[in-house]
Amino acid sequence: MKSGRITAVHRDAKNQHRYHIQIGDDIVFSVHEDILVKYQLLKGTELDEAFCREVLEAEEKHKAYLLALRYLGIRPRTKKQVASYLQEKGYEGDVADEICRRMEEQGYLDDERFARQWVDERMRLKPRSSYMMRMELQQRGIDSDTAEAAVRAVSYEDELEAARRLVEKKRRHRQGPPEPDEERKLLAMLARKGFAGSIVQRIRRELREDVES
């Protein structure tokens, strides 16, 4: 890395947030404007090799941070998802962890909030059993205690209603009671989705009550 006094700072013609740092007649590196301001990279600033390394390391971490922000901008993510994404993009694990800690401190990453929102959305849009939601959360990197706390907010009646909605969706508003074979398939579906035996049996009784009514 070339060291010396900065002779010019040029704004990039295509990306207005990036600047090229020149020493003598050579462009030695480019940085985001946030790094430019943080390290006061102005014309006349003296750069030595150690300082340049520090600036470039900060620049790489800033790129990772902006990449993570864009990733979060698509939809909410867990800490594990963001860390895995950054590592897939070529960043070291310690850099990914540092970025995640920073985003947690700033409130961009919050696994507890993610878990609560996930459960609420699932119950409204894609009904699931508490068991299935707990598994889904853990697959996304939510620890078991946080996942358990989120699904604990789902009452028995909430879960029963979710099971009813799944059955109604599966039947596609078909009129009349289900045939025995259809009933078996509906109950098996609920069992596969992790609904407790008491809820499966409650749905079974309700389907049979329809037959008797």
Q: Of 73, 154, 70, nearest to 118 (Cα)?
A: 154
User: What average pLDDT does range 122-143 have in this prediction?
Assistant: 91
Please give the CATH number for the structural domain made up of 110-154.
1.10.10.10
User: What average pLDDT does range 74-95 have in this prediction?
Assistant: 96
Identify whether the C-beta of residue 96 lies closer than 8 Å to the C-beta of residue 87.
yes
Q: Of 77, 78, 97, nearest to 87 (Cα)?
A: 97
Instruction: Answer whether CATH 3.90.1150.10 is correct for domain 4-105.
Output: no
What mean pLDDT value characterizes the chain? 92
Is residue 213's pLDDT more than 60? no
Name the residue ranges covered by the structural domains of the chain. Answer: 4-105, 110-154, 156-213
User: What average pLDDT does range 144-166 have in this prediction?
Assistant: 92
User: What average pLDDT does range 2-8 have in this prediction?
Assistant: 88
Same fold, 4-105 and 110-154: yes
Q: What tens digit of pLDDT does each residue of 19-77 get? A: 999 999 999 999 999 999 999 999 999 999 999 999 999 999 999 999 999 999 999 99
Percent of the chain with pLDDT strictly greater than 90: 78
Q: Tell me what pLDDT residue 210 has.
A: 59
Is residue 1's pLDDT more than 70? no
End-to-end CA distance of the chain: 84
C-alpha–C-alpha distance, residues 156 and 158, integer Å: 5
Is residue 211's pLDDT more than 60? no
